[in-house]
Amino acid sequence: MLKFPSILLPLLVFLAACAAQPPPRYQVITVSGTAYQRGFQHGQQMSSLIKSFYSTLLTTSLLPYLNRNQPDIAAYLHNYDATLHPEYGNGQFSLLLLRESAVVLEKSIPQPFIDEMHGIADGSGMDYQDILVLNTFVDTTLAARGITYFLQQAGAPRVTEIEWLGASLVGDGVDNNGDGTTDEATESLVSPYESLPHAMWVEVPQTAKLRVRLHDDDAKVDPDSVRVLVDGDVYTQSSPELQMATPTDAGGLPLIHDTDVTLTPSKPWTQPIVTIQVQAGDNKMSYNPPPSHEHRMRTEQFTVSTKGYGKPPHLVANKGISDGTSQPPSIAFAVRNSATPDGQVRLAHHFSLLDAGTSHKHTVVQIHHPDTGPSYIFVGWVGIAYGFAGLNSNGVSYGCNHSDTLNNPLAGAFLTDFFDAKLVSSGEPIGFLLRDILASAHNADEAATLAYDTTPTFGWNFLFADKAGKLRSVEVRRDIGMGGVIANPGEGRANWTPDPADPAGLDQWGVPWASEKLDDIRAGAHFRPLANDFQMDLGIFNLRPQRDWSSYYFSSVRAMANLGEQITANYGKLDLATMIAILRQPVLVDQHDSMTAVVIEPGLGKLHAALGTEPATDSDFDTFDLTSAP
């Protein structure tokens, strides 16, 4: 029998126990001192993970993702044509794009955060420019993604009008489209079509049939690609209920770039609420990037109610069904007083963007004790000096979501230089604005003012809650111009509270923008007051609001409606456990790109975080008490 010296036995037991321990799901670091010292401690403690995050994120996720979009961008912006500009060839496009923007964005970053990034670089042994790219890639990537997606949509079919046929809405004595007029001659027709967060029509006859006109600027709609989905039922060219025809103009000439798709249901519309989705591609193939593919429109969606439902359009959400074809985006909500069983203020946030099997493995909880000012805590990623949810010792908490918009500096470059434009971002990077808020805000009003007064790089939706019970929501975009003229006159910002005395909190029908009652507020990944965030017809392009092109729009509308239903069903019971349960609702969880989830109790100084799994909400929510953090 093999015997070990007695002195080795404890060591073997210890090593065996260590081998049995699973790796940590996420990291926790506590740093203190000057900005540089805190950055150095961060870099030194997380050195190997920072290097892993940088290389894995860029080489396997972000750079390939952006490189796939190069052909769509180069088709319009000549500076990115690798034949004309070889420096953007051989896979260098995406990295150069990020580095060029990072240099410009650095000019808007306050010096303490530059010092902190230098500290991260020195502590980790990485190059400062790589740390700068890591801390600015979100701003550049989102704007580039938005422009790319818009350009892809510009070459695809789109819905231009929809109409109910057979059983007309004219003469029924109902304001079916909610425009304030009853039985106008065009009440059955929407032309031009625009996406809405609520019902397009109400009280539609159960026997009505539907016509949808599709238009493609330089090609024809491919009949085989057309799909009309009605609450999960799919109609195609082979379905007897679906007919397609080329319409004619007033002179009888065919409109060769248009296709009328008419749906005649085989049975009456019996559901009280009906959601129709339309999909189509054209017959113009693209071969770069491979594989070859047609230009496909986003899935367009509109909702109606049928006879007898009884509610006006603005009270019927364009919700549709969760069918797995799209994932919910980031969401946030906050509650207080009557919404809770104990009066505690709580803010919940689930951030989803681009996990790609990488980001959730590099999450970190950072606790900062600066030389001056409040202490604070936030959830984020190693090597990055910020996170999209956080709390400071003054009792101010936030959750921040991205919101697609063409009102951003990359689109502004195109308006100025057209085909010679460079996609270089500018403005204050979002993360360092969030750090400003943690470092200085004493209450939600101050936090909202800082967000409202920023010069943003993109579109953002902020939610703030403080320990005194103040709840604030802020939407921002960047007002860009052409020749010094603002593209969309008016403030590029909106802010509101759930307080009844706040007129900014109510929409045109007197309904709160995003509150069920007086003590809750929520935010998604689409604009509410800023729904018409951008509109400009350049001839070659008709630049449109996010609701008419963003791939996030309908999924965000659905998530906001589902979240509102959950809040209403649990009003008065929204404690920590209930809010965690809501964050875990399948209809609110992105299964592929979930990154972090938190519930914050600012009055108690506590942040409860779920990190390190995909989705994040599958993790336990661990508690961090900022009041007792060493």
C-alpha–C-alpha distance, residues 91 and 67, integer Å: 7
User: pLDDT, tens digit, for every residue of 337-377?
Assistant: 999 999 999 999 999 988 777 888 999 999 999 999 999 99
The model carries a pTM of 0.92
Least confident span in 266-270, 430-434, 469-473: 266-270
Average pLDDT rounded to a whole number, residues 103-113: 96
What pLDDT does residue 429 have?
Answer: 95
Confidence at 424, pLDDT banded by 50, 70, 90:
confident
Exposure class string for 222-235: b at 16+ Cβ within 10 A, else e: beebbbbbbeeeeb
Task: For residue 516, give both structure tokens.
Answer: 């069920």
The arithmetic mean of pLDDT across residues 225-248, rounded, is: 94
Residue 19 has pLDDT above 60, yes or no: no
pLDDT of residue 232: 80
What integer is the mean pLDDT of 558-574? 97
pLDDT score of 202:
96
Which residues are CB-neighbours of 313 under 8 A, at least 6 positions away? Answer: 176, 177, 178, 196, 198, 199, 200, 201, 202
| 119-139: average pLDDT | 96
Average pLDDT estimate for 133-147: 88
Residue 13: the pLDDT is 46
pLDDT score of 486: 43
Percent of the chain exceeding pLDDT 70 equals 92
Of 41-45, 406-410, 451-455, least confident by mean pLDDT is: 406-410
- Angle between the 553-569 and 576-583 helix axes, to the nearest 10 degrees? 150
Q: With beta carbons less than 8 A apart as the criterion, state whether 80 and 67 touch.
A: no
What is the reported pLDDT for 283?
Answer: 82
User: pLDDT averaged over the chain?
Assistant: 88
The pLDDT of residue 95 is: 82
Angle (CA) 603 609 612, round 5°: 170
- Residues in contact with 190: Cβ distance below 8 Å, sequence separation at least 6, in sequence order: 161, 162, 163, 177, 200
> Hey, which residues does 249 pair with through a beta bridge?
none
Residue 607: φ, ψ to 5°: -125, 125
| Mean pLDDT along residues 237-248 | 95
pLDDT-based confidence at residue 78 (cuts at 50, 70, 90):
confident
**Residue 69, pLDDT score:** 75
Query: Residue range 313-336: average pLDDT?
Result: 91
Q: What is the pLDDT of residues 587-627, one digit of tens each?
A: 999 998 999 999 999 999 999 999 999 999 999 999 999 98
Structure tokens of 67?
A: 């490189």
> Of 459-463, 485-489, 521-525, 531-535, which range is least confident?
485-489
- What's the pLDDT at 483? 43
At residue 160, the pLDDT reads 95
Mean pLDDT along residues 222-244: 94
Say what the pLDDT of residue 94 is.
79
Question: How would residue 153 be classed by pLDDT, with cut points 50, 70 and 90?
Answer: confident
Assign 3-class secondary structure to 108-142. CCCHHHHHHHHHHHHHHCCCHHHHHHHHHHHHHHH
Helices (H), 459-546: none
Residue 290, preceding bond cis, omega within 30 degrees? no
Find the mean pLDDT for residues 280-298.
74
Strands 520-523 and 536-537: unpaired
- What top-level class would CATH report for the domain 332-352+362-578+596-628? alpha beta
- Provide the CB-side half-sphere exposure for 613 (13 A, CA): 11
Rounded to 10 deg, the angle between the 128-154 and 47-56 helix axes is 30
Break the chain into its structural domains and give their ranges.
27-153, 157-296, 332-352+362-578+596-628
Q: Specify the pLDDT at position 350.
A: 98
Is 189:161 a contact under the CB 8 Å cutoff? yes
Q: Rounded mean pLDDT of 172-183?
A: 93
pLDDT band at 487 (very low <50, low <70, confident <90, very high): very low
Q: Distance between CA 245 and CA 37 in Å, rounded?
A: 69
- Look at the alpha carbons of 150, 154, 159, 161 in this order and tell me if their dihedral is positive or negative: positive
- The residue that leads in pLDDT, 153 or 175, is 175
Tell which wins on pLDDT, 328 or 72: 328
DSSP class per residue in 558-614:
HHHHHHHHHHHHTTT---HHHHHHHHT-GGG--TTTEEEEEEEETTTTEEEEE-SSS
Q: Give pLDDT, residue 37.
A: 98
Residue 418 buriedness (CB in 10 A; 0-12 / 13-18 / 19+): middle
